[in-house]
Structure 1
Amino acid sequence: MVCLLIVINNNKKRRVYVLEAFQYKVILVFCTALGMMLGASLIGSLAALLAKEPPVTTMLKLAREIKIWAVAAALGGTFSFLEVLESGLFEGEVRAMIKQLCFVVSAIAGTQVGYYFLLVLVGDKG
């Protein structure tokens, strides 16, 4: 079982928080999706600079187009996700299905936060 240990020093008090494997995975999926959105959009906009195109327009276009791929990549591919959903629906493993749905929501939230961050960065009302 993978656990993440977080140590926070506040006012000379040391607090230790232990995240279970599920919580760790939710955070990992969120940050992976967020990183893919920001990285792909920012690095992709460099191509627009080289081609003498408007980089902001290209960055926002890439951000809109890459959302679904960022979700799929953050989940680690779609086949394992579909297998767990199948076992949840047809074999009655509801807990595994709920976990997978939480991972999907976390990935979608990561892409949305990345997209809104880019909108704020360029000053677009979106």
Structure 2
Amino acid sequence: MSFLPSNIIYNFLISFGVIVGASLLAGIGALINDHPPLKTMFNIAGSVKIWAVAVALGGTFSSFEAIEKGIFKGEIKSIIKQAVYVVVAVLGANMGYGFIRLIQKCGESIIK
């Protein structure tokens, strides 16, 4: 995997999409099961954040291999590249979480 801006965009949007997609589908499941959908969406968004980052990175082992290569073979560029990918994936997951929080806040204000 080369260090391209498109990979950074993919990592961000994949982690964002995992959070939003999982939360929205959990909300549909909550409606079917007669549970509160907004609360369920918020709980799921918080619990899948780490998985969204792992999915965006393409699995954890490839990242560990790249970091290992950087540490033991002296390839600092590899460590920096993986660090950027991890930070971008975390940002995407947090933005997805924030988006779900925004939906929850808007839903609560409409209900009141």
Q: 1:42 aligns with which of 24, 27, 47?
A: 24
Distance between the aligned counterparts of 1:92 and 1:109, measured in 2?
28
Distance between the aligned counterparts of 1:81 and 1:118, measured in 2?
28
Structure that is richer in helix per residue:
2
| Alignment match, 1:118 | 100
Q: Normalising by structure 2, report the TM-score.
A: 0.90
Q: How many residues get paired?
A: 106
Distance between the aligned counterparts of 2:104 and 2:65, measured in 1?
40
1:71 shift after superposition:
0.3
| Alignment match, 1:92 | 74
Give the partner amino acid of 2:85: F
Give the partner amino acid of 1:42: L
Q: Does 1:66 align with 2:48?
A: yes
RMSD: 1.6
- CA offsets per residue over residues 85-106 of structure 1, 9 Å max, x none? 0111111110011001100000
Q: Normalising by structure 1, report the TM-score.
A: 0.80
1:120 shift after superposition:
1.0
Runs of 4+ residues deviating >6 angstroms? none
Distance between the aligned counterparts of 2:92 and 2:77, measured in 1?
23
Decide which structure has the larger Cα Rg and report it: 1
| Alignment match, 2:5 | 23
Distance between the aligned counterparts of 1:64 and 1:82, measured in 2?
24
Give the partner amino acid of 2:62: S
Aligned-residue sequence identity (percent) comes to: 42
Q: Secondary structure at the match of 1:123?
A: helix
Give the partner amino acid of 1:102: V
1:45 shift after superposition:
1.3
Q: Structure 1: 5+ residue runs without aligned partners?
A: 3-20
